[in-house]
Chains A and B, each alone.
Chain A
């Protein structure tokens, strides 16, 4: 195989990796603040993917335009979920939280299965087969748009956490729970807000991913695992880390799929995860030790 083939696959992997990074960012934000590992993360993303598919099938609405509305819907979903169900669990032991989120995941996957059936569905946009050519590299237009949108959303999130008052308050809740309570922050509400933001991230990522891949209800758990791998690799709680992790995993899976068989590619990302956990448990860009 020539060098150009590798280059093509690598670029495609990196672009998909950026969307993965956005998905993982949601998980990272939720864990970094609420300290709950969202085992229903991939399942929440499938909800967004199905919303995109239905909107496209029914009204021919382009996922790129629907990015913000779908993210908003997922924000509300996440906010309500945290405010009603998950908030009472933040002080419970990990295994109890785990059971709650796993039950949620089970409900989401199978509700989607009841509504949409087991068959894969996809979106055929008018630009689905367009591509850009840069030297020897040919890139799918859909992947470029998806990756660009992922970068924009991530940048917006960075700005939100760094500059806005809400963002600062959320970081305060994450840094020091008791301290945040003492200065009068309504921590439970900020937790709900954070979960909403995390859900909006997967909402945006799911909408973008619907441009690139097919949707089936059963993909939820796979994406959840993928988000874990990315977030731990990049560093739980680190926003830039999630993006770097997404790039790394996207690239690794693409190259591994080319060199070996595509079905074995996830073995390599798990291999990377194990290596990172052992050599640098806090992740590539993580600050605190595990």
Chain B
């Protein structure tokens, strides 16, 4: 398995990967609390982006509603914790299947009836919006009033119950992101990964070649959903409050997919790089604006939007593919981003 992970990876790529990981490992010692929180957000987006990339980057199924899987994960684990005192790691054992089952329903309905492309994307939005409004009226989870997890000062980090300091959360998310990266690599280099790429490039040809496209598209959705659900569990225990209006919001789904698109769809490094670039961009916009005493609501988002626009106009494949070619490490992911 280790051999399969590193097989065919260029030496410089491995060195780069080790360097990035080492830098992320020591980051808590050299940053302050604020910066650490920012890094947690970046890792969160890298993780969710990596999960979305499995569905879209590998199997070519454009989902614009991944917030539903994170939201389900968050609510399932939070309800189990607040009502029955069940630890989040056990909660995850319930949350992941729930999210995967939801993906299976969406996938089954869509793929059985030949819903694809833009129509599939809008179906995923519809389900996420349905969940948002539904949870907003579900009294069992306190509806729109929000679900809160008990907060108090923790003298020590309780990893089992995910109660503790930002540093602990940082390492949890870092580990999750690293695992998602390895999982993606493993999937991509296995039989299922090659089937996905075939489906992404030409679904008819893939089916003609004997690939059960329905089954493998379903797998892509369910794996992506299960992976995303952990992000929801993390969200619930990190922020300690859940509002349907926030967790299921379409802006959450969009945020999850900006990273991989900016970084490079279908690549392994893309989601991670994109998430850090976007978070860095957002933070620098904030600090530049406050440095100039410029505090207009909306100004930050306008600037952010312009930056997004420039990146997508200038770099059609995202940042990573051209960068990888420059660095001579472009055998790490797939050679081309997207289709």
Q: Could you tell me which residues of chain B, from 86 to 137, have a CB within 8 Å of some CB in chain A? A: 109-110, 113-119, 121-123, 125-127, 129-130, 133-134, 136-137
Q: Chain B residues near A264 (CB, 8 Å)?
A: 133, 136-137
Q: Are B258 and A267 interface neighbours, CB within 8 A?
A: no
**Interface status of A257 (Cβ within 8 A of chain B):** no
Contacting pair A110 B126 (CB below 8 A): no
CB <8 Å contact, B296 and A114: yes
Chain A residues with Cβ under 8 A from B110's Cβ?
A: 277
A193 to B254, CA, bound (A): 29
**Of A68-76, A91-99, A136-144, A241-249, which stretch is located at the interface?**
A91-99
- Assess the A102–B254 pair: CB atoms within 8 A: yes
Binary contact track B129-147/A, C-beta < 8 Å → 1, others 0: 1100110110000001000
Q: Give, as a whole number of angstroms, the nearest-CB distance from B92 to chain A.
A: 28
The answer to whether A96 touches B316, judged by C-beta atoms less than 8 angstroms apart, is: yes
Q: How many A-B residue pairs have CB under 8 A?
A: 140
A261 at the interface (CB under 8 A from B): yes
Q: Mark B234-277, 1 if CB is under 8 A from A, else 0.
A: 00000000000000001100100110011001000000000000
Residues of A within 8 A of B9 (CB): none
User: Main SS of chain B's interface residues?
Assistant: helix
- Contact yes or no, A271 B119, CB < 8 A: no
Give B250's nearest chain A residue, CB to CB. Answer: A221
- Chain A's interface: helix, strand, loop or mixed, by majority? helix
CA distance A110 to B306 in the complex (A): 11
List, in ascending order, chain A residues with CB within 8 A of B115's CB.
Answer: 277-278, 281, 290
Among A92, A93, A99, A118, point to the contact of B308 (Cβ < 8 A).
Answer: A99
Determine whether A259 belongs to the interface, using a CB cutoff of 8 Å to chain B: no
A270 touches B119 (CB 8 A): no
Whether B116 pairs with A290 at a CB distance below 8 angstroms is yes
Chain A residue numbers with a CB within 8 Å of B214 are none
B313 touches A (CB below 8 Å): yes
Residues A95 and B338 in contact in the complex (CB < 8 Å), given A111-B302, A232-B122, A290-B114: yes
User: Is B225 located at the chain interface by the 8 A CB criterion?
Assistant: no
By the criterion CB–CB under 8 Å, are A277 and B119 in contact?
yes
**CB of B43, distance to nearest CB on chain A (Å):** 22
B258: which A residues are within 8 A, CB to CB?
99
Q: How far is it, in angstroms, between the C-alpha of A94 and the C-alpha of B308 when the chains are bound?
A: 16
Contact call B304/A106, Cβ cutoff below 8 A: yes
Q: Which residues of B lie under 8 Å from residue A263 when comparing CB positions?
A: 133, 136-137, 144
Task: List the B residue with the shortest CB-CB distance to A107.
Answer: B305
Contact B113 A277 (CB under 8 A): yes
CA distance in complex: A38, B133 (Å): 23
Distance in Å from the Cβ of B48 to the closest Cβ of chain A? 15
Asked whether A103 and B309 contact (CB < 8 A) given A37-B118, A95-B338, A110-B302, the answer is yes
Interface string of A264-278 (1 = CB under 8 A from B): 101100110110011
A107–B265 touching, CB < 8 Å: no
Identity of the chain B residue whose Cβ is nearest the Cβ of A265 in the assembled complex: B133
When distances are taken between beta carbons in the complex, the residues of chain A under 8 Å from B309 are 85, 100, 103-104, 107
Across the interface, which residues of A come within 8 angstroms of B306, CB to CB?
103, 107
Could you list which residues of chain B lie within 8 angstroms of chain A, going by C-beta atoms?
A: 56, 62, 64, 109-110, 113-119, 121-123, 125-127, 129-130, 133-134, 136-137, 144, 250-251, 254, 257-258, 261-262, 265, 296-302, 304-306, 308-309, 312-313, 316, 338-339
Given A274-B126, A277-B123; 12 other pairs, CB 8 A cutoff? A37-B121, A95-B257, A100-B312, A109-B298, A110-B299, A110-B305, A114-B297, A225-B125, A264-B133, A270-B127, A273-B126, A274-B130
A-B interface, 4 closest residue pairs, ranked by CB to CB distance from nearest: A113-B298, A110-B298, A106-B305, A107-B305
